[in-house]
Amino acid sequence: MSASSPRRVLLDADTGLDDALALAYLTAVPELELLAVTGVDGCVDGIRAAHNSAMVLQALGHPEVPIGAATGQYDGIATPPPVQAFGPSGMGEVVVGPPDEARSFPDSVELMARILDRDRLPTTLLCTGPLTNAAKLLRDHPGAARWIDRIFVMGGSIAAGGNVTAAAEFNILRDPEAADAVFLADIPTTLYGLDVFVQPVISTDELGTRPDDSPRARLSHLLLRELAALFPGRGAFLGDGGAAVVLMNPELASKTSYPARVELEGTHTRGATVVDRRDSQGGDWPRIDFVTAVDPDGIVSEFLRQINRKEAP
C-alpha cells in the first residue's frame, strides 16, 4: 500500500445518533475508504442499526456503501434488552427514513470476512457499538481477521467508571464476553472510553448557526441539535463522532498502554474494564491502548471542517 492510499475502515455500529455523526464524518474524509457499515445489537437491535445506517448513508449521498446486519450475543448468553439512550429508533426525533423494511442485509460478520478475504489489505475495524461482531469475526474467521491492523473501540473507561452501571460503560456491558475476547486477541486495540467520550462538545452558540447548504452539514446539524436536546448541557457531545475523528487524527489525543481485562462476573461490576495502572504489573493480561486525554477543541474543529467541506461534484 502506498503512503497516499486511503485508510481502509470497516465500521461496526449500533447506529444511533452519535454513531450517525461518525458516519457523517467517515464519509467526508478523503483520506479514508469506508468499506462497509455493519449493524450490531446495542442501543437498538442490529437489524434496526443496519436500517438506520442505510437511511443515514442515503441522506449523506453514499448509498453505495455495503451494509450488514446481525443480532445475538457472542457467547449465546441471553441478550439483554437494549438501553434506549436515543429512544426506540436510536435516532431520537430525527427522521432520516422511512426505512426500506423490505431490504435485507448480509450477515455483519460474514460481510466483514468477505471484504477482508477479498482485498487482503490492512484494514482498521472501528467499533462504535458492543464488540459482539468483532469477537465473532476473530473467532470464526481467523484468516480474514489477520488483515485487521487495529481495532479502535468506543467503549469502557480507565478511571471514569460507567454510564449504565457505576462500573460499566454501555458498549462493554452489553456483551462483556465479546469485549474480553477482543482484548485477548493478538491485535492492536485502542479504547476511546468515557474518560474522554463526552469532552468534545459543539457549543450551543455553534448549534444556533445555520448549517452549510449540503446534505451532510444539514443532517449533522439535526443530529447534534437532537443530542443537545436529549442531554441538556453546554451543547452537543460528539460521542462516537469524536472517536472517528481521533482514529483519523491521532495527534488530537494522548494514549497510554495498560494491561486490561473485562470483568465477567461481579455483583456490581460486570462489564467494567479493569485497567492495571501499577508500574510493570499486569502479568499475562493483554496490553490495550487507552485514550487518556483529547484536544476537545481540535476534535470539534476537525469534525466541522470535514462536515462543511465541499465535496467534489
Interface positions with ligand BDR (CB under 6 A): 16, 18-19, 43, 85, 128, 154, 163, 169-171, 239-240
Least distance in angstroms from the C-beta of 122 to ligand BDR:
25
**Nearer residue to Ca ion within complex by CB, 128 or 306:** 128
Bin 280: left if φ > 0, else alpha if -120 < ψ < 50, else beta.
Answer: left
Contact 40, 12 (CB under 8 A): yes
Least distance in angstroms from the C-beta of 31 to ligand BDR:
23
**Nearer residue to ligand BDR within complex by CB, 66 or 161:** 161
Cβ neighbours of 305 (radius 10 Å): 12
What are the phi and psi torsion angles at 235 (to 5°)?
160, -140
SS3 string of 93-151? CCCCCCCCCCCCCCEHHHHHHHHHHHHCCCEEEEECCCCHHHHHHHHHCHHHHCCEEEE
Distance (Å, whole) CA 176 – CA 250: 27
Distance (Å, whole) CA 179 – CA 175: 6
239 binds, among ligand BDR, Ca ion, none (CB under 5 to 8 A by kind): ligand BDR
Q: Which of residues 118-137 bind Ca ion (CB under 5 A)?
A: 128-129
Least distance in angstroms from the C-beta of 197 to ligand BDR:
6
CB-side exposure of 12: number of CA atoms within 13 Å? 32
291 binds, among Ca ion, ligand BDR, none (CB under 5 to 8 A by kind): none
Distance (Å, whole) CA 72 – CA 90: 18
Q: Which residue in the shown chain puts its C-beta closest to ligand BDR?
A: 170
**Nearer residue to ligand BDR within complex by CB, 144 or 153:** 153
Binding mask 10-39 for Ca ion (x = CB under 5 A): ----x----x--------------------
**Nearer residue to ligand BDR within complex by CB, 41 or 180:** 41
- Could you tell me which residues are beta bridge partners of residue 202? 236
What are the phi and psi torsion angles at 165 (to 5°)?
-120, 175
Least distance in angstroms from the C-beta of 202 to ligand BDR:
16
172 binds, among ligand BDR, Ca ion, none (CB under 5 to 8 A by kind): none
**Nearer residue to ligand BDR within complex by CB, 18 or 302:** 18
Q: Which of residues 216-275 bind Ca ion (CB under 5 A)?
A: 240
Which residues of the chain form contacts with Ca ion (CB under 5 A)? 14, 19, 128-129, 240
